[in-house]
Structure 1
Amino acid sequence: MSDSKSPSDIPPTAAAGTAQTVLVTGASGYIGGRLVPRLLEAGHTVKVMVRTPAKIAGVPWLGEVEVIQGSLDDGASLRQSLAGVDVLYYLVHSMAAGAGFESKEKAMAETAATAAAAADVGRIVYLGGLHPANVELSTHMRSREAVGKVFLDSAVDAVVFQAGVVIGSGSASFEMIRHLSETLPLMPAPSWVRNKIEAIAVRDVLHYLVGAASMDGPVNRTFDIGCRQVLSYAGMMKEYAAEAGLPYRVVLALPIPAPKLAGVWVALTTPIPLSMSLPLVESLQHDAVSREQDIDAHIPVPAGGLTPYRRAVALALGKERDGQVETTWSNAGADADPLPSDPDWAGHTVYMDERTFHGDVDAAHVWTIIEGIGGRNGWYSLPLAWRVRGWLDKLTGGAGLLRGRRHPGTLAPGEVVDWWRVERIERGKLLRLRAEMRAPGRAWLELSVEPDGTGSRYRQRAIFFPKGLSGKLYWLAVLPFHSLIFPAMARNITTAAQKIAGADNAGAGSNNQQGSP
């Protein structure tokens, strides 16, 4: 897209390499959370604007940035946040659908553009979607294009990147490819799996985003970015399987577009919830290949060149094996309502299942199990019952049990654990999880441990605020399952802690024997 305003209308941006003050929106999301530390490494001063600061409470870069609590639909607070800012990174795009979705997204972008102009911001940087010209786009791709156009038509210089499938551990696009490839050795698929896709490694997306802060300006245009290797979507799944050491995958392309049916199928077979799988699948209805490579004249390719698709997959798999996923799509989900403190429960209908269990094991070992719960470690009771509930949740549009967790051993506020979100954590003492499953009410699971004599006292509370009669009937319906699941869960968590303690004691004894004369 060419310039939509004359250079005289745009304030000049800083020369390449100059340190800037930047504001990142969407810092709790997949791209934004990875971009912030790269901007800091490049010497920029970074502000982040988040609706809920608790969602970034556990990030390692928190002490190096200014955190501003605010909303992108509040023009006044946004103008204040942009005071002294050179570059605004607009990395917010909702996956929610429904009536008014597009108009709301466009209105938020217009508010941001107006606030940026009033604050004399030098540039807006936006990441949109790669798509062909002159075709009827899906709702979400159309909305992304419209948001980019708002910035290009504004009084502020804009750099609008257009990227296809982003490959990196924790990316929703990558998770979809990974789970489809690993789950289905033979996959009947709609005809769009033949469409041409140019993927891009997340590290290369970040390279271009960081570089955009220091581009000589004015620029004010779109740039297509990708790895410059074109595959079909089926080809990407086959290449993934080869890189992951899986047997050859057969993908049968059927002459049926069926985006909605395919979205439901993806939701059932991957961690991606239906609300996200539908727009992701709809965005694959057309080829997504770069039409130009003009970015090379403004930002050099990364040292060593752009990352080929297979290497991007290898990097993503390597990070997942190490458990070092910096950010993940799932942590950018809905904000969590706080759990009312016990005295505030007056007036609420509250259902609770409470269990306590005394064990001879040290509280620190019990905490190790508590903080590692979920994901591959599971929930320590009747795995089939949990899986069935997860499938039912998926079928009704919920998150299901496949989202996993960012790190196998540590948690932070705001992070996802399967269909739960960490609402509060007092390391060594208490973990409170808020349910994001579909249910007629609000639910929490609270796990805590404290020293008790020579051992420990483990406490477990399942709390449910029913919504209307359906909520009360729901609680009654699940009571028989709770009577099986929750007692076993309390016992098995304590038993698992005893095994860890036994292994530690055995290791200590072995070391003492080796060190004795």
Structure 2
Amino acid sequence: MRVLVTGATGFVGSELVPALREAGHDVVAMTRDASTYAPPDGVDVIEGDLLEPESLSLPDGIDAAYYLVHSLETGDSFADRDRRAAENFVEAADAADVDRTIYLGGLGEAGDELSEHLKSRQEVEAVLDSGDVDLTTLRAAIIVGDGSASFRMVRQLVDRLPVMIAPRWLHTECQPIAIDDVVAYLVGVLERPETAGNTYEIGGPEILTYRDMLEKTAAILGKRRYIIPVPVLTPRLSSYWVEFVTDVPKAISRPLILGLKNPVVVTDASIEEIITLDKTSFEDAVRRAFASESGE
């Protein structure tokens, strides 16, 4: 198939593009600046900015397009920018007669209690579904891999804080998933036409609390960390010390931290009836991320 990947230079896109090529697909990578991107062999590159509709001209013959774009780094305006980008993409995809869009969104129950980040993920999903193109959505929680902002926060908190204050969100349940498994699902739904028009939840083999993830990561690093419960420390307050301790930009870390109050676990495992994976454990995903980070 001829496949377009938006966000090709991002954390997920940079892993997905070569995987699609290995699976035998004809890949077109979209980036805002082609001069900064060195694509894998055989990958075509086009320039386009989803916030500038006049720059969007999708090539003919695209069977499926992956939508992997988000704007967290832009600060408080990220939700508006993500909505406008999705609207522009829908218009361009409809004009180019794209057959299908595949979107990687976020887990979380719909409702007013969702964080702004998770609300925005669901809003983008609704916008993408408003066009003429069939939409397949995969919803995931924390993706574990080298390059993941969420996992980078976990790694640096463990690495830099021998004693950690434990806010209430450390007891929130999450179902982290390895980047390799996310990519396998993304490629898998492309090759299963019955997934068009459907939404699926994906997660790793374990449901963990954020405290579990910190402790398991510390053990892999060979570090002993002390966690002191402080029930009055809210996600908003704890976002300030995360900003101080880690190098994740505030514009990215704050909305992610504010979302930690929401449980993000798989409640519908129907994807497993369509795509069978030998899922990667959290510990193995962490070890792979560290190995990739060190260039091993």
TMscore range, shorter length: over 0.9
* 1:285 alignment partner in structure 2: 261
One-letter amino acid matched to 1:308: S
The superposition leaves residues 51-71 of structure 1 with CA deviations (integer Å, 9 ceiling, x where unpaired) of: 1123314x5x1x421111111
Shift, 1:203, TM fit? 0.3
Q: Distance in 2 between matches of 1:178 and 1:74?
A: 36
User: What is the aligned counterpart of 2:4 among 20, 23, 26?
Assistant: 23
* 1:203 alignment partner in structure 2: 180
Shift, 1:135, TM fit? 4.5
One-letter amino acid matched to 2:80: S
* 1:92 alignment partner in structure 2: 69
Shift, 1:246, TM fit? 1.4
The answer to whether the 8 Å contact 2:205/2:280 transfers is no
Shift, 1:308, TM fit? 0.9
Q: Distance in 2 between matches of 1:25 and 1:314?
A: 28
* 2:221 alignment partner in structure 1: 244
* 1:308 alignment partner in structure 2: 281
Larger relative contact order (CA 8 Å, sep ≥ 6): 2
The superposition leaves residues 322-369 of structure 1 with CA deviations (integer Å, 9 ceiling, x where unpaired) of: x26xxxxxxxxxxxxxxxxxxxxxxxxxxxxxxxxxxxxxxxxxxxxx
* 1:34 alignment partner in structure 2: 15
Q: Distance in 2 between matches of 1:111 and 1:281?
A: 29
Shift, 1:299, TM fit? 2.0
Shift, 1:50, TM fit? 0.8
Shift, 1:102, TM fit? 2.3
SS in 1 for 2:194: coil
One-letter amino acid matched to 2:287: A
Q: Distance in 1 between matches of 2:129 and 2:152?
A: 32
Map of 1:196-275 to 2, 5 A cutoff?
A: 196-217=173-194, 219-247=196-224, 249-275=225-251
One-letter amino acid matched to 1:124: T
The answer to whether the 8 Å contact 2:201/2:267 transfers is yes
The superposition leaves residues 3-25 of structure 1 with CA deviations (integer Å, 9 ceiling, x where unpaired) of: xxxxxxxxxxxxxxxxx101111
User: What is the aligned counterpart of 1:48 among 26, 29, 52?
Assistant: 29
Shift, 1:218, TM fit? 5.9
Q: 1:277 to 1:316 in 2, by over 3 A?
A: same
Shift, 1:255, TM fit? 1.6
SS in 1 for 2:76: coil
* 1:361 alignment partner in structure 2: none
Which structure has the larger Rg over C-alpha atoms?
A: 1
One-letter amino acid matched to 1:141: L
Map of 1:326-365 to 2, 5 A cutoff?
A: none
* 1:421 alignment partner in structure 2: none
SS in 2 for 1:33: helix
* 2:88 alignment partner in structure 1: 111
Shift, 1:106, TM fit? 1.4
Shift, 1:174, TM fit? 1.5
* 1:320 alignment partner in structure 2: 293
- Give the share of equivalent positions with the same residue, in percent: 39
The answer to whether the 8 Å contact 2:58/2:96 transfers is no
The answer to whether the 8 Å contact 1:82/1:115 transfers is no
User: What is the aligned counterpart of 1:68 among 46, 51, 57?
Assistant: 46
Q: 1:183 to 1:123 in 2, by over 3 A?
A: same
* 2:106 alignment partner in structure 1: 129
SS in 2 for 1:98: helix
Q: 1:82 to 1:229 in 2, by over 3 A?
A: same
Q: Distance in 1 between matches of 2:109 and 2:232?
A: 21
Q: Distance in 1 between matches of 2:288 and 2:201?
A: 23
The superposition leaves residues 266-313 of structure 1 with CA deviations (integer Å, 9 ceiling, x where unpaired) of: 122122111111011112111111111111233222xxx100111111
Gaps of 5+ in 1: 1-19, 325-517
The superposition leaves residues 187-222 of structure 1 with CA deviations (integer Å, 9 ceiling, x where unpaired) of: 013211110011000100110111122122363122
Corresponding residue pairs, total: 295
Moved over 6 A (4+): none
The superposition leaves residues 215-255 of structure 1 with CA deviations (integer Å, 9 ceiling, x where unpaired) of: 223631221100131111011000111122212x2222322
The answer to whether the 8 Å contact 1:21/1:45 transfers is yes
The answer to whether the 8 Å contact 2:102/2:136 transfers is yes
Q: Distance in 1 between matches of 2:291 and 2:153?
A: 17
Q: Distance in 2 between matches of 1:45 and 1:131?
A: 33
Gaps of 5+ in 2: none
* 1:146 alignment partner in structure 2: 123
The answer to whether the 8 Å contact 1:24/1:46 transfers is yes
TM-score under structure 2 normalisation? 0.94
For the aligned residue pairs, the C-alpha RMSD in angstroms reads 1.7
The answer to whether the 8 Å contact 1:157/1:218 transfers is no
Tell whether 2:144 aligns with 1:167. Answer: yes
Map of 1:452-463 to 2, 5 A cutoff?
A: none
TM-score under structure 1 normalisation? 0.55
SS in 1 for 2:265: coil
SS in 1 for 2:268: coil
* 1:120 alignment partner in structure 2: 97
